[in-house]
Structure 1
C-alpha cells in the first residue's frame, strides 16, 4: 500500500520572499471525490497530468496515497468535466538538511496562504525546520488542500 507521511507548516512571508529559490511549478487541481475519509484529485502542471487517490490513515500525518501520471490532455478534460472545486498554486521544492520541502504559494481564493510540507519515511523522523518555517498545522484540517478547495482562505475569519 502507498502511504504518505507528511507534516505541514506555515511560512513567514517576509523571510520566504527574501529567500533565493528555484523556479516554481504552477499547479491547478480539482476534486472528483472529496469527503472526510478519501479524495480523488486531478492535478495538472504546464506539461503533465496526475490523478491521486488518498484514503484515511492512522493520523492527519499518515494516510494511504496512490498517485499516477496521466496525459496532460486527459488531466485538463477531467478538471473541466468532473471537478467542481479546486485550488491553484505555485510549488517550490527547497532542499534543506537532507530533506526536500515543498512550499505552496496559493493563488485565487487562497491567495496570501503559504504552506510548507515535508514528506517523511516514518512519523518519528527527526528534522530541522528551515528558518522561514513557523507554526505546525498538520492537524488543522483547514489547511488540507481538499478543504481549501471548498473553504478558501479568503473566507476565513
Structure 2
C-alpha cells in the first residue's frame, strides 16, 4: 500500500498548496521509535539537554520571518499573532532549559536513616526517572503555541535524564 500524501490547504482560499508530509506506515513508525530509543542516551547529560533547548529557541528566533510566513499561509492567524506565539515558544524553551540546569524536575528526596525512631527509619532516596520515548501529536491550528515546539515536546525533552 502506497503512503498517502498530506497536503497543505490555504485557509483563506481553500485551495491545495503543497505536499507537506507523507502518512507513515506502521513499519516506518516502528523504525522511528526504535531509532529514538537507540539514541535516547544522547540527551542524558543535563548540560547538553539544556544547551539543546536553548539552541532550539535561538533557531526559532533566527528563522522567525520564514516560520511566521509559512505558519500564516497554513493558518491565516496573521503575522502579529504568530510572532507573539513564536516569542512565547522561545521563552518557554529557555525556561525549560533553566529548569534542567536547576534539576528540581527530578524531585529528589533523601530521607536520612534514624535508628532511634520507632520503627527505625531506613536510608531512603528517591528521584524521578524517564519511562522511555515520547510521541507528540500536536495541534496544527496553533503552529507555535501548542505545536511541536512548545508545550509537551520541550517538557518531555527537559524531563529526560
TM-score by length of 1: 0.24
Name the one with the larger strand percent. Answer: 1
| Structure showing greater Rg | 2
Name the one with the larger helix percent. Answer: 2
TM-score by length of 2: 0.24
Structure with higher RCO (Cα < 8 A, 6+ apart): 1
